[in-house]
Structure 1
């Protein structure tokens, strides 16, 4: 039997994050799932009962550096290293219009979608195993090349910044054989994507895990979709 991967998934209480946890557990991996309030994450707590010893829940408020530091300190108590880090947690402020975009939205989006994943990966870098994978969940709306209209500005700006985070982390971690990817999951039926989206979370995550598993060092720093196809920057 293959050795189980040691995985950490942020924003794991719903949507794509929860689907990642479910798929990884089904594949026999060990998972640390983080969210803001683990005690209120009913689906995750049910999974703990179904997978005793293989799933641990830890709190993380990605916008707060102290919370990131606390997680980095507590993680060794439940996990002796990481083979996969999935930076999934993020925020989208809907209904923004040019001329009335609040500064607070921009700050919140940047801290959740860009600086948070960077600081978390940096804080956990010593716990990443040689040859580990870091998957940053990005979006086509973070593609400058594909921009067609003014929409979701604070989300788009922060996801474009997150793509630079991926490129920088790929270079920072290259000497340890760690692959870092920016991944566009497609239009997914989540709270963020809406009920009319094209893909279910299961479909998106199954594709993303294939991309993650198939990536090598030559792919580190690339922006790929759930089918493994390049997304323009």
Structure 2
């Protein structure tokens, strides 16, 4: 049943085939939302496709390669066939290459990470802006690893650099969309038990997403451009 706390909305989630993205889809559906879930290879997204059968008419799975702007344009063309606007855009898709060491960071790896984690969400939001409803929300899944003020060593450089750039994109998008009262926030999900976070992580995807959705629901236009964590606490840039 739809949540009593808010009416159902039209939500789009990127990187929805696993981890946090898949959990976002599950919880948004539980709230009664109409959800568009995107991933690079929908035919292989078995868990998503099972959810389509469980929520007929309320979940659509569409292809998206976040690193390819042509894919953004194709998604924008297909969306009006399944949804008549976007109340909430969750830019969740991202990549993390572990094991990088100073002096041996592959240029191609850094370029790919920047395209996916920073350029991708910025350009996709720009492309989908005409479909965002006035007063809607954009949630960019960031990371405390992208906080320059919190950096204490040479850790995951490609990922950290890309998330710092994504944080700037969040602030710029907040400025660009403020006239339409669209709130744009950067969110740190915590250290989550996913393929990216690893089994030693501190919290489950279910707990993280529950907190993130609470933070998103509570965000107003006055919060646009902020960097907060899954518990709603402000983080330093």
Number of equivalent positions: 233
Tell me what 2:195 maps to: 191
- The runs of 4+ residues in structure 1 deviating greater than 4 Å are none
Tell me what 2:98 maps to: 94
Ranges in structure 2 where 5+ consecutive residues have no aligned partner: none
Indicate the RMSD between aligned Cα atoms, in angstroms: 0.8
Tell me the alpha carbon deviations over residues 122-180 of structure 1, each in whole angstroms, 9 at most, x when there is no partner. 00000000110100000000000000110100000000000000000000000001000
TM-score scaled to structure 2, two decimals? 0.97
DSSP 3-state at the match of 1:84: strand
Q: Does 1:149 align with 2:185?
A: no
Tell me what 1:72 maps to: 76
TM-score scaled to structure 1, two decimals? 0.99
Q: Does 1:118 align with 2:116?
A: no
CA–CA distance in structure 2, aligned partners of residues 10 and 225 of structure 1: 19
DSSP 3-state at the match of 1:13: coil
CA–CA distance in structure 2, aligned partners of residues 137 and 3 of structure 1: 23
Ranges in structure 1 where 5+ consecutive residues have no aligned partner: none
1:51 pairs with 52, 55, 58, which one? 55
CA–CA distance in structure 2, aligned partners of residues 120 and 217 of structure 1: 21
CA–CA distance in structure 1, aligned partners of residues 40 and 220 of structure 2: 32
DSSP 3-state at the match of 2:171: helix
Tell me what 2:30 maps to: 26
CA–CA distance in structure 2, aligned partners of residues 8 and 84 of structure 1: 6
CA–CA distance in structure 1, aligned partners of residues 235 and 20 of structure 2: 19
Tell me what 1:162 maps to: 166
What's the offset of the Cα at 1:196? 1.1
1:176 pairs with 174, 180, 197, which one? 180
Q: Does 1:132 align with 2:136?
A: yes
Structure-to-structure mapping, 1:190-229, within 5 angstroms: 190-229=194-233
What's the offset of the Cα at 1:3? 4.1
